[in-house]
Structure 1
Amino acid sequence: MYTSRSGRCSSLLLPWIFQWRIQVQNFRLNWETHLL
């Protein structure tokens, strides 16, 4: 974890981006399975 003046902001933003990526991957997997 990199620390800077906006360290608290980045610490809050990183988990949100990580969760969002998981949501997108799950959505794509579900979409592909529905197509197949």
Structure 2
Amino acid sequence: MRKFDNKYINNVYLLFFTIKLVFTQSMAPFMGFSNAFHKIL
């Protein structure tokens, strides 16, 4: 059971890391716009 839990946690972490990486890469061109938008607010 412990091995299954570790494997499940590793898969979730890997999935989260991949989504985070893809999201940051796709949002990189918009970072300047986002910062300017927050400064206006």
TM-based fold match above 0.5: yes
| RMSD of aligned Cα (Å) | 0.8
Q: CA deviation at 1:9?
A: 1.0
Structure 1 spans left out of the alignment, 5+ residues: 1-7
- After the TM superposition, list the runs of 4 or more consecutive aligned residues in structure 1 that deviate by more than 4 angstroms: none
Larger radius of gyration: 2
RCO comparison, higher one (Cα < 8 Å, 6+): 1
**How many residues end up aligned between the 2 structures?**
29
Structure 2 spans left out of the alignment, 5+ residues: 30-41
TM-score relative to the length of structure 2 = 0.63
Q: Which has the higher helix share?
A: 2
What's the % identity of the aligned pairs? 0
